[in-house]
């Protein structure tokens, strides 16, 4: 089987802003043995025998084992590689570059390709806490029962409940000078209307045609 790469690493891969500086463990998917960390991640834009893969500058030599060398023809040239397996369960993890036959690819020597189907990455604790469910909310019970005498001095004016306006007492019919003046005016208007009405009647009886009095 010939391994084909679809990406040529550049300087941007080594300085990618998304590469985490604090290393998270990379485990063997079968037995959870730690083989490297994301601190040594170079690029994720690789493909191995089983699909997506990532290039690392270092793997733990005590946690992994190397197979015999073989020459693989890839898109960027020929490489001498060794199969990389887990030192605990002997599961296939990827391969390690021993030598690049193209001068421009010599920097890949001693770098290892780990396949995504064979390893798993430790979850980001910050990402896990951001997506963790929130605890259920509990109703807050007041320590003292609410009453009309509750202190509202610290409550903003926009949030405070509107207060009912006190009703103004009706004026007393005998104890207010304004009330007495109103009664006097009404009485005078009544007498004036009566006198005008009597004049209108007397004018109609003597045969004259005067216009009736009109109260405006």
Q: What pLDDT, on a 0 to 100 scale, did the predictor assign at position 137? A: 55
Percent of the chain residues topping a pLDDT of 70:
47
Give the SS3 label for residue 214.
Answer: coil
CB 53 within 8 A of CB 115: yes
CB 55 within 8 A of CB 81: no
The better pLDDT of the pair 50, 190 is held by 50
The better pLDDT of the pair 138, 12 is held by 138
pLDDT tens per residue across span 38-47: 999 999 988 8
pLDDT tens per residue across span 155-171: 444 444 455 555 666 66
Would the pLDDT of 100 be above 60? yes
* Mean pLDDT on 62-84: 91
Would the pLDDT of 204 be above 60? no
Q: Which residue is listed with tokens 């005998």?
A: 174
Mean pLDDT over the full length of the chain: 69
Would the pLDDT of 145 be above 90? no
Lowest mean pLDDT among 8-12, 182-186, 202-206: 8-12
Domain boundaries of the chain, sorted by first residue: 11-124, 175-216
What does CATH list as the number for 11-124?
2.170.150.20
Burial class, 34, CB count within 10 angstroms (exposed 0-12 / middle 13-18 / buried 19+): middle
Q: What pLDDT, on a 0 to 100 scale, did the predictor assign at position 158? A: 42
* Mean pLDDT on 48-61: 91
DSSP string over 90-151: --EEEEEEEEESSGGGGGGTT-EEEETTTEEEPPPHHHHHHHSPPPPP-PPPPSS---TT--
Per-residue tokens: 5? 């790469």
Would the pLDDT of 18 be above 70? no
């Amino acid at each position: 089987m010939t391994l084909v790469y679809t990406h040529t690493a550049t300087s941007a891969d080594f300085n990618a802003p998304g590469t985490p500086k604090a290393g998270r463990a990379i485990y063997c998917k079968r037995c959870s043995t730690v083989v490297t960390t994301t601190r040594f991640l170079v690029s994720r834009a690789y493909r191995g025998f089983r699909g997506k893969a990532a290039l690392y500058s270092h793997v733990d030599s005590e946690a992994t084992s190397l197979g015999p060398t073989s020459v693989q023809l890839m898109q960027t040239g020929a490489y001498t590689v060794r199969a990389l397996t887990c030192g605990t369960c002997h599961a296939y993890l990827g391969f390690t570059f021993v030598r690049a036959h193209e001068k421009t690819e010599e920097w890949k020597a001693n770098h290892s390709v780990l396949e995504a189907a064979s390893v798993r990455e430790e979850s980001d604790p910050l990402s896990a806490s951001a997506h963790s469910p929130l605890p259920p909310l509990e109703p807050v019970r007041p320590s003292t029962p609410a009453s009309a005498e509750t202190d509202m001095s610290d409550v903003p004016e926009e949030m405070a409940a509107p207060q009912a306006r006190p009703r103004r007492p009706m004026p007393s019919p005998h104890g207010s000078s304004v009330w007495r003046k109103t009664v006097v005016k009404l009485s005078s208007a009544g007498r004036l209307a009566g006198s005008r009405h009597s004049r209108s009647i007397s004018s109609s009886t003597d045969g004259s045609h005067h216009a009736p009095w009109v109260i405006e």
